Amino acid sequence: MIKVEKETTTKSGAELLIDALNEQDVEIIFGYPGGAVLPLYDAFYDCNIPHILTRHEQGAVHAAEGYARVTGKAGVVVVTSGPGATNALTGIADAMSDSIPMVVFTGQVATPGIGKDAFQEADMIGLTIPITKYNYQVRDVKDIPKIIKEAFHIATTGRQGPVVIDLPKDMSIATTDKVNDDKIHLPGYQPTVKPNGMQLEKLMQALAISSKPVILAGAGVNHSRATAELLDFAERYQIPVVNTLLGLGSFPQDHPLFLGMGGMHGSYAANMALTDPDLLINFGSRFDDRMVGSPKEFAKHAVIAHIDIDPAEIGKVLTTKIPIVADIKETLTQLLEMNITEEADKTHWYKLNMTRKERHPFTYNRDSKAEIKPQKVIEIIGEITEGKALVSTDVGQHQMWVAQFYPFSHDHQIITSGGLGTMGFGFPAAIGAQLAYPEQTVVAFVGDGGFQMTNQELAILNDYHINLKTVILNNGSLGMVRQWQEKFHNERFSHSIFQSQPDFVKLSEAYGVKAVRLEDPLTLAEDLKAAFAHPGPIVIECVVSPNELVLPMIPPGKANHQMEGVE
């Protein structure tokens, strides 16, 4: 294809990059400088886009993820070459797993040094092919505007995800008075957005004769901002709704039709509804192994309808009779324009699910006065924040307790690492969310293990006036690892219980951040209220029961109805 050049004033590659970011309405950049990106950072000196200097590249990428997860906009990251770029790989892979839009600029050695083991060279194209939607390496300064425009388009359309732009140092320095045409022309990338009408008819026909339908609502509902349409659809046909972990917030938790989160640590009502329906409508969930522990037993008598923006997900785990490749909001909008003249009687199914929900809620020993229960901490904070906070979690037991006991009320509210399960994610991701919405309450629930992986980002809370409430549920161990060792490895607690830990209060205070340690279960409620009333950032360490388990639990490989720990 012949490249069409456009005249422009003479600019460096770094200046063209900043112009392109402004054209994409980028609000914030997360990054960490180094030799290969110094020309770009020199241009940032006069740039009007705020830059957040994190204390580690992994923190930068997770913060950008947090920003992207709550805003729906692409997070933007700049890191240097070699170790700077490889430190970003975990966050990029995390974003890929959870379909989070990001554009990550990785510095690279100058073009003549590529492939010659130059100082701080790493093959970022080879390293990121499996964990990105697409990646680029700039080889001509004139291509920079076009590459960036395409990168944002790819990252934010279809099934969203991260795009890496590898930027050799000389491409930032080089100047030009011409740029290549930046019109987007990607014939091989045309995501299907609108659903097939015949498939919608099949779904409505199946719904008309179904007496036991259930909806599984995943992250796709939140990504497409289709919560209002989902509520209308479920209410019109009185269909019970189950959420995935990342789908939490897409359906009101206080609604009679809501059965809770399904899967390994899901509710009894949710998992039983997924076991014996005659019609399962999956809106935007990928049927991952935490939801479908035993594919042969999962909804084995149901007609499965799967609506997903990514055709690769449909039929990957379960045989799908009604596949619909489309955007969730577009699909629900069209389904709501259709009508069913006669419906099968769903009265018994409704009563059965409501009975299960009433008899088997998530529970724990609420009468304990000897130790703080982590579930109680989460419930109280849910009350303090009225279920409206943006909630970030790390990964482990506390993540599941938050999913079970925090009263999520709106989309884009939960910020958690679902697919990759990344420890260290929660705290920096909460920083990104708080920067996106400075006036909103943001709570980071972290474990004592995960917090120690990225707690250096405490340094930036005061620098950027980040009013974040961080809650450490400290049980002195890698809680979920310890739980699995207790249940499946004969209580052989191999390297999962910490012999020593830092003083988290002193650690926080060393960074100039107020901190408190809560140990008294009798004053827990008033202590938490006082902590949340603090006007600035605060770290709240809650010393909780060390032996508490996340229940119910489906043992690995077992079917959803084979839950343990159901009362």
- Euclidean distance between CA atoms 3 and 5, whole angstroms: 6
Task: Judge whether 480 counts as a catalytic residue.
Answer: yes
86 token code pair: 């490889």
Is there a cis peptide before residue 240, judged by omega within 30 degrees of 0? no
Q: What is the pLDDT of residue 253?
A: 94
Task: Tell me, yes or no, if the two domains 197-359 and 374-543 fold the same way.
Answer: yes
Which among 243, 263, 265, 239 is positioned nearest to 252, based on CA atoms?
Answer: 243
Per-residue CA distances from 115 to 54, 105, 121 (Å): 30, 19, 8
- Euclidean distance between CA atoms 276 and 281, whole angstroms: 13
pLDDT tens digit sequence for 363-376: 999 988 899 999 99
pLDDT tens digit sequence for 476-505: 999 999 999 999 999 999 999 999 999 999
Q: What is the pLDDT of residue 5?
A: 81
pLDDT tens digit sequence for 119-161: 999 999 999 999 999 999 999 999 999 999 999 999 999 999 9
374-543 to CATH, choices 3.30.360.10, 3.20.20.150, 3.40.50.970, 3.50.50.60: 3.40.50.970
Query: 57, 65, 229, 457: which is the annotated catalytic residue?
Result: 57
- Mean pLDDT over 81-107 rounds to 98
Separation of CA 192 from chain center = 23
User: pLDDT over 70 for what percent of the chain?
Assistant: 100
What average pLDDT does the structure give for the chain? 96
313 token code pair: 């997900």
Provide the whole-model pTM.
0.96
Q: What is the pLDDT of residue 182?
A: 86
SS3 label, residue 30: strand
Task: Judge whether 57 counts as a catalytic residue.
Answer: yes
Boundaries of every domain in the chain? 11-176, 197-359, 374-543
Q: How confident is the model at residue 567 (pLDDT cuts 50, 70, 90)?
A: confident
Q: What is the pLDDT of residue 265?
A: 97
pLDDT tens digit sequence for 259-280: 999 999 999 999 999 999 999 9
- Mean pLDDT over 76-90 rounds to 98
439 token code pair: 């006036």
DSSP label at residue 392: E
Rg over alpha carbons for the chain, rounded to the nearest Å, is 25
29 token code pair: 């950049």
Over 80: is that where the pLDDT of 101 sits? Answer: yes
Q: What is the pLDDT of residue 2?
A: 56
Query: 400, 480, 553, 563: which is the annotated catalytic residue?
Result: 480
Over 70: is that where the pLDDT of 525 sits? Answer: yes
pLDDT tens digit sequence for 11-25: 999 999 999 999 999
Q: Supply the CATH classification number for the domain 11-176.
A: 3.40.50.970
Which among 226, 85, 106 is positioned nearest to 166, based on CA atoms?
Answer: 106
- Euclidean distance between CA atoms 261 and 550, whole angstroms: 14
Query: 133, 146, 169, 469: which is the annotated catalytic residue?
Result: 169
Over 70: is that where the pLDDT of 31 sits? Answer: yes
Instruction: Tell me which residue has tokens 């392109």.
Output: 20
Q: How confident is the model at residue 97 (pLDDT cuts 50, 70, 90)?
A: very high
Task: Judge whether 397 counts as a catalytic residue.
Answer: no
- Phi and psi torsions of 37, nearest 5°: -110, 15
Q: What is the pLDDT of residue 59?
A: 98
**Which long-range contacts link 494-499 to residues 24+ away (Cβ below 8 Å)?**
498/448, 498/449
Q: How confident is the model at residue 40 (pLDDT cuts 50, 70, 90)?
A: very high
500 token code pair: 């020593």
Q: How confident is the model at residue 406 (pLDDT cuts 50, 70, 90)?
A: very high
Instruction: Tell me which residue has tokens 């972290």.
Output: 446
- Euclidean distance between CA atoms 207 and 205, whole angstroms: 5
Over 80: is that where the pLDDT of 56 sits? Answer: yes
Over 80: is that where the pLDDT of 300 sits? Answer: yes
Query: 58, 108, 120, 375: which is the annotated catalytic residue?
Result: 120
Type and span of the H or E element at 175: strand 175-180
Query: 3, 6, 119, 383: which is the annotated catalytic residue?
Result: 119
- Phi and psi torsions of 528, nearest 5°: -65, -40
Q: What is the pLDDT of residue 7?
A: 77
Per-residue CA distances from 73 to 27, 76, 224, 363 (Å): 9, 9, 12, 37
> Helix 426-436 vs helix 57-71: angle between axes, to the nearest 10 degrees?
50
Q: Supply the CATH classification number for the domain 197-359.
A: 3.40.50.1220
Please answer whether residues 543 and 515 qualify as being in contact, where contact means their C-beta atoms are separated by less than 8 angstroms: no
